[in-house]
Structures are given as structure tokens and as C-alpha cells.
Amino acid sequence: MCLKVSCVWMLATCLSFVPIGAEDWPQWRGAGRDGVWQESGLVETFAAAEIPRRWTVPIGAGYSGPTVADGRVLVMDRVTEPEELERIHCFAAQTGENLWSHAYACSYDGVSYTAGPRASVTIDNGLCYAIGATGHLHCLAAEDGQVRWQRDLRQDFQIRMPTWGIAGSPLIENDLVIVQIGGSDGACIVAFDKQTGQTRWQALEDVASYSSLIAIDQGDQRVVVCWTGERIVGLDPRDGRLLWEHPFKFEQWPIAIATPVVDGDQLLLSEVHKGTLLLGLGQEPPAVQELWHRRDDGQPALHALMSTPLIIGQHIYGAHENGVLRCLDRQTGEQLWENDTLVPTLRWATVHLVKNGDRVWLFNDRGELIIAKVSPAGYEELSRAKLIAPTTEQLRRRDGVAWSHPAFAQRHIFARNDKELVCADLSAAVE
């Protein structure tokens, strides 16, 4: 009888954490790699100034945002004592229990901003793909952390190391895992067999940027969109063949960080020096054409840094490099409004935007979570509460920052700073 009661309690606990229709966050920017969170049944306003935590676990420093799939949370960090190590951690999503960790020696020689790994772990069919700041690429079993294969890409491809290291999260496309690394001899972008780690193809002589790759459809053709330090290109994922390109060379140094955003037949890109670019996507054959390019030249324009914009209907919403939220007309790029209340305005201030139904969830670098609505008419804040404290390893100014992008999964949020990984319940109370 006691066993039956115990089993029923355990089942009820699990069901309360994994509701029907629950969604994972298995890669950078979510299930669709698009900053869209599909779940319903969420809180409409926060009940207090601080969000209660379901669990908290200690971790080391790093910029890597967590990912969530199949009841597991993956995140990377770095420690420097007694030796320099990068680490990949797997925690139970329900309890925070450490299921496994994998550590490997890694010197950050030649890398600026040394807090830790940048890229999110990509989880795919029971395997985890993790790339560190200097190019260590691992494939591990999600169940127990056993290494299936590993590559030292810095050594294998003579990486021309970007100033801030390797930052783009691995992209899974069919049987390949594809990364942007800036390797020599035509290896800016490299594809590997996701089961064996064998090199399948390499492409482009370009220097690397920090932007993650995405895959889209153009007509009947799958296309991997790559924003390098010199241009935006579309590659055939089967062999790396160049399908189209649009020059967008860096001005001061390669600094593209935000992810390309696709909506319908348009592709949006924004970076801190050159502003925002909108491309039209031709379908047969795959091609691109510039629709508009706007930058601050006497008129306000969006210059995103680490925050990837959203396209919602006929408008674009994004955080400028100082944290000011801006709304642009999608047809022309003209700014309609701006709002400076989301985060204290300061160079490199960060606000991550995630769309959920008719709302936007925003996580700022003060560690606050905001629920809001945005429209051409303006910004409407519905609720705001503190989730996690800023820390100084990521950026040593004032009391630090919380720069890492959180994961939204199972009606919970998973966020990290340089000291801890936290989980909080965002589900609406059951009446």
C-alpha cells in the first residue's frame, strides 16, 4: 500500500513538472531556433518582486545559455583552479540533481573575455553537441555523458581565433552537425557526421563571426544561412556548396553576434556597427536581394549587439546596443518608437526577447524577467520580477551582468550566472 502511494505521489510530481503539451528548449533560441516559445498555461503577472525558485545548483562561470530536453538541462562552464578546465554539465530538470559532468583541459590563450564557453549545447535524439570557446567539439550521450566522439578544431583546422572565441551554437541538419569556426584553408564553416565526428565538408575562406547558423527552406532547397565576418551566405547543407551571398563586411572588426531571423520570404540581420539589414529570399533558385539597410546616420536605427530581434507581423522589435528597445517598420526600416525602461541604459546592456502568444518575455542583464506586450503603438509592461543576480566574471563593471540567454521549457525558466543555475516555475496556478 505504501509503495502504491509512493508511486502515485512520484507520478503526480512528474506530471506537475511535465504538463500535457509541454515543450523542450533543446538548442539555442528554442525548439525552432527562432526565439519562439509555444507553451500556454503561463502566469500573467508575478506575485512578488522576486520569482520563487524551484531549485538552484552551483556552477562555474560562462556565457553558455542552458538547453533543456527529455528531462535534462545542459549547460557549460569554466574553472581555472587547480587547472583550466571547460565543463559540460547535465542536471535533472525536475530537481537540479547533477546527472553527470564532463571536464577537459582547455587554455584560453588568445581569447578575450575569459569567463567561459559561449555556445549553448545542442541536444538531438539522445546526443549532446557542445563546442567550447577555443574549438573543442564534443558529442556525448545525454543519458550518462559518455563521449561518443570529440574533435580539437583549433588544431585540426588551424582556427584563426576570433577575439572573443568560438560562440556560435552547433546546428543539426539531418545527419550533420555544422559549426562556424573560422578555420584556415576554406574552413570557416565545417560539417561533421553527427554520429562519428568525421569531417563531411568545409566551406568559405571568411573569418568567423559569433553568430549562430540557422537552416531554412527556399523553394525545395534546404539552405544553411551563415553570417560570417564578411558576408551573409546560403550553403547547401549536403556538400557546403555556395548557393548565394550578400556582402556585409565588418567595419572595425568582426562583431556579428545576433542570430539571423527568418520570417516568410525575408531575412533580418542586425549588428552594432553596421545597423540592420533586411534581405528578400528568392525561392527558385535560392537567392537574396537587399530590401533595405538602415543605420544611425542622423536618424535612429537598430544596432543590435548580443540581443537577437524579433519579427512580429509587419514590425521588428529589438534591443539596441545600449539596451533601448526599438520598434521598426518592417517595410522601410524606419523607427516608430523606442523605450528605455527595460534595463538601465549603458553600452552593451542586454535584453533577450522571446515571443509567446501575444506576449513577449524579456530577460535583462540585471537578471530580471519581464512580461510585456509590444505593438506599433508602443511597449506595455505587464509584470517584472527578479530571477537571478548579476555577477562579475562575464563583465567586471558595477555589480556585473547576467548576459546568458535563459531557456524556457516545461512551463519553467532555466537561467544562469557565473555562480549558479536556477529553475523557476512559470505555470499558472491551477484553480
Q: How far apart are the first and last CA of the chain?
A: 30
pLDDT-derived band at 381, boundaries 50, 70, 90: very high
The answer to whether the pTM exceeds 0.85 is yes
Q: CA distances (Å), 88 to each of 56, 95, 376, in order?
A: 17, 18, 42
Give the mean pLDDT of the chain.
94
Question: Count of CB atoms within 10 A of residue 202's CB?
Answer: 17
**pLDDT given for residue 333 in this prediction:** 97
Q: pLDDT exceeding 70 applies to what percent of the chain? A: 95
Whether 159 shows a pLDDT value over 50: the answer reads yes
pLDDT-derived band at 17, boundaries 50, 70, 90: low
Among candidates 45, 41, 81, which has minimal Cα distance to 61?
Answer: 81
> Could you give the CA distance from residue 61 to residue 49 in angstroms, rounded to a whole number?
26
Pairing, β 378-386 against β 368-375: antiparallel
What's the rounded mean pLDDT across residues 387-404?
94
pLDDT-derived band at 297, boundaries 50, 70, 90: confident
SS3 state at 383: strand
Q: Could you give the dihedral angle defined by the CA atoms of residues 367, 368, 369 and 375, in that order, rounded to the nearest 10 degrees? A: -120
Q: pLDDT tens for residues 51-84?
A: 999 999 999 999 999 999 999 999 999 999 999 9
Quick check: 183 and 140 in contact, CB under 8 A?
no
Q: pLDDT tens for residues 316-331?
A: 999 999 999 999 999 9
**pLDDT given for residue 22 in this prediction:** 85
Among candidates 109, 104, 56, which has minimal Cα distance to 79?
Answer: 104
Which residues 6+ apart lie within 8 Å of 303 measured at CB? 270, 271, 272, 273, 274, 275, 276, 295, 296, 320, 321
Whether 172 shows a pLDDT value over 50: the answer reads yes
What's the rounded mean pLDDT across residues 149-177?
98
Q: pLDDT tens for residues 237-274?
A: 999 999 999 999 999 889 999 999 999 999 999 999 99
- Residue 392 burial (C-beta neighbours within 10 Å; 0-12, 13-18, 19+): middle
pLDDT-derived band at 425, boundaries 50, 70, 90: very high
Q: Which fold has domain 23-425?
A: Methylamine Dehydrogenase; Chain H (2.130.10)
pLDDT-derived band at 299, boundaries 50, 70, 90: confident
Phi and psi torsions of 343, nearest 5°: -155, 150
pLDDT-derived band at 9, boundaries 50, 70, 90: very low
